[in-house]
Structure 1
Amino acid sequence: MTRTVRMAEMTLRELLRRRGVMGLLLVVPLVFYLGRHDQSGQAIRFASLGVGFAVSTAALFSAAGGREVESRLALSGFRPVHLFLGRSLALGSAGLVISALYTVVILLDQNVPNPSAVAVEMALTTLVAVPLGLLLGLAVPRDLEGALLLISVIGAQMVIDPVKDSAKLLPFWSTREIITYAVDGSASASLSTGVLHAVIVGGLLALASGAVMSVRLRRRPHMQFI
């Protein structure tokens, strides 16, 4: 636990030093939100996707930039689980702060029949975005390719009809389902279905990104873990 917390502290300090990343976390969701401000449901959905994109991008660059540091930490006794959980904890905490901020902005600016559903969706979007960004940052050799893949995922999320079954394969499908419930009620969408989708996708992404980190570190012959 101590090593996990230390890894989280190091990740948070790294984020705070990178002011551009923090600016991205704050500004990108606002741009998405204002782009559809005249349509309540669409504005909230785009704000949520903006939070997902910003948090995923921060996680991607954090994972890509921390490869050398993680190798040195592994030599000093940190296990892959400490590194993964610590980085996830830091990124998740930062993302939840941003999602809470935008939840307040939305609820003050929009008349939403089910405001608690908006808060749930913003939090779930963050919890999906962190492992998604980490997976891309760990699995793709260079961060530029990872960023292009992430842009493709977000772009597909915006243009594919969410009613199609194929749309459910995208990581942020729950955004539309829960926001529709928040704005239009249970007759138009299911809160439990959206929450279940986000939990399953977030869990699968977390398992995949954790496995990639573990395999990548264990492949080095001078690093053996129990």
Structure 2
Amino acid sequence: MPDAKSPDAKSPDASRRSERSRRAIFDAALALVSETGYAKTTIEGIAARAGVGKQTIYRWWPSKAAVLLDAFLDLARQADEALGGEAGSEIPDTGDLAADLRHVLRATVDELNDPTYDAPTRALAAEGTVDAELGARFTEALLEPQLQYYVRRIEAAQAAGDVDPEADPRLAAELLVGPLHHRWVHRTRPLTHAYADALVDQVLRGLAPRA
């Protein structure tokens, strides 16, 4: 058993302190960007809100964009765990492609309409258009994996004979998700379950096997 004064005895406490600080920083970053917007959110503000020194933040992240990205990815992981892993799992294959796609698109609508996700997602999407590295990380860590769930479900439907074998699953996935995000980004019209269902119906008409 290590001596109470040895480094080994202190390391668990240090780890717990680091995790508490990291969690406080994540919570502060998400709260501030929701309350004041991305432009007015600063490292100094995050540090003050989290009760840590700004040097602690700079030790782990190079910028507020990097802090917000990791905070958002952590938020997504928490949501996944709360749903028993469903949010980050493959799209269920019930044998009814339309029902499966409606289910996941409706869940996406609910998430995009949730204020908890809305502000940080908009902030990251906007900053990612001018910060190529951040945009690439956001795409690689979150957007691309989610898009691949659609691709694999459509490929399974192709194998079952429910989708035209000549159809491009990746393009079909983009046709499902793209209009949803376009309406959300530009706020052209309300983002609803009915709209998600209409997208599925429209895309599946194009994917139907040819006679």
Q: Which has the higher Rg, Structure 1 or Structure 2?
A: 2
Structure 1 length-normalised TM:
0.43
TM-score by length of 2: 0.45
